[in-house]
Structure 1
Amino acid sequence: MRIIIFGPPGAGKGTQASLISEEYDIPHLSTGNIFRSAIKNESKLGKEVKAILDAGDLVPDEKVVGLVKEELQEDKYDDGYILDGFPRTVSQAKAFDEILEKNDETLTAFLQLQVPEKELIERILSRGEGRTDDTREGIKKRLKVYKEETEPVLDYYREKGAVQEVDGTGSIEEIFTRITTILPNN
């Protein structure tokens, strides 16, 4: 199974991706986790990414695509995976299509978590990740960047007929149940 979980900041992508990973025994590839680890370790990539994220901007496509492409070459991804935080731009989506095609693979599901903006803001403020832009203004800027730069990915996959919308409100368990009814049985 090859799954993309998609939605704005605070939609619960990471939480649901972890549950899917466990339930379907596929690895969870989170670009955010890779970046956070690099930032924590103060690597060269980490310092570059921190400066970009602190400004509320997205990491450049070529950097993200290279990272994901390299990661997906590991054997643990041979039987599938769930992508969280990738692709974030149409350019990244097209690059991912090329990766799939080259490996003679197809996308199993594109899950779009739908959550009202007011709830997204409250979730981010309450989760306390400690990002310097975890303020109402910072979150609104991130949501604006999402709408302008990331939401077009949704249209790209809609044109392919791949998008499956999931109500992202309610308890973690309720949302996960909605997802499992969409995904094929193992």
Structure 2
Amino acid sequence: MGMTTMIQTMIKEGKIVPSEVTIKLLDKAILGIDNDKFLIDGFPRNEENRAAFEAVTKIEPELVLFFDCPEEEMERRLLSRNQGREDDNIETIRKRFKVFLDSSLPVVEYYAAKGKVKKIDASKPVQEVFAAVKTIFTPKDDKAANNVKESHGK
């Protein structure tokens, strides 16, 4: 089984990809960029991910963005995506949310204790969520904030 197939199978089953796999991919990507700033989406997913990432890369995040959204709203959005993932069904969504509460929330709490978490109310409309994120990334002296462009990921 190839790396891609293994990762796809684990995602389909709602499992977390092993830390060493993800960290190797992230480390390679980080070393391959000229910029000293980067945004990692959806990682670390658990305490073991976090500890391994910091140990291997010697990087501790400057800030952690936490998009807080009630489970009911998240379910509604995921089930109404017209180009959703193949695992966008109610059972898998609920499984993923439970994994989040059990495994990922402790990571958010770990960084919150260090004062690094910026919490965004993600139940609001897209434009308001984007405005809140843009504020976080806008330098204090840049009132215009026109340097951040909006994009919608899947």
Bin for the TM-score computed over the shorter chain:
0.7 to 0.9
Shift of 1:131: 3.2
Is 1:52 aligned to residue 10 of structure 2? yes
Task: State which structure, 1 or 2, has the greater radius of gyration over its C-alpha atoms.
Answer: 2
Q: Which runs of structure 2 are paired with 1:119-130 in the superposition (5 Å)? A: 119-130=73-84
2:23 counterpart (65, 89, 93): 65
Identity, in percent, stands at 31
What TM-score comes out, normalization by structure 2 length? 0.80
Are the equivalent residues in 2 in contact too, given 1:112–1:166 (CA < 8 A)? yes
Over aligned residues, Cα RMSD in angstroms?
Answer: 2.0
Aligned with residue 95 of structure 2, among 141, 164, 180: 141
Once the two structures are superposed, what CA deviation does each residue of 1:56-110 show, in whole Å capped at 9, x if it has no partner?
A: 111111111111111111134x331111011111122223334244xxxx63321
- Higher RCO (C-alpha under 8 Å, 6+ residues apart): 1
- Is structure 2 residue 26 aligned with structure 1 residue 79? no
The answer to whether the aligner puts 1:154 opposite 2:122 as a matched pair is no
Gaps of 5+ in 2: 143-154
Among 89, 107, 114, the residue aligned to 2:61: 107
Higher strand residue share: 1
Aligned pairs (5 A) from 1:20-59: 44-59=2-17
Size of the alignment, in residue pairs?
139
Q: Structure 1: where are the runs of 5+ without partners?
A: 1-42
What residue number does 1:26 align with? none
Query: Do 1:61 and 1:89's aligned partners in 2 also have CA atoms closer than 8 Å?
Result: no
Counterpart of 2:99 in structure 1: which amino acid? V
Kindly provide the amino acid, as one letter, of the partner of residue 138 in structure 1.
T
Q: Distance in 2 between matches of 1:45 and 1:108?
A: 30
Aligned to 2:46: 89
Q: Separation in 1 of the partners of 2:123 and 2:62? A: 23
Q: Distance in 2 between matches of 1:166 and 1:136?
A: 24
Partner of 2:147 in structure 1? none
* In structure 2, distance between residues paired with 1:75 and 1:137: 38
Task: Decide which structure has greater helix share.
Answer: 1
Counterpart CA distance in 2 for 1:116 and 1:171 is 14
- Which runs of 4 or more aligned residues in structure 1 lie more than 3 Å from their structure 2 counterparts after TM superposition? 128-132
Which TM-score applies when normalising by structure 1?
0.67
Offset at 1:118?
A: 0.4
Whether the aligned pair in 2 keeps the contact of 1:154 and 1:163 (CA below 8 Å) is yes
1-side partners of 2:83 and 2:106: how far apart?
27
Residue of structure 2 in register with 1:175 after alignment:
129
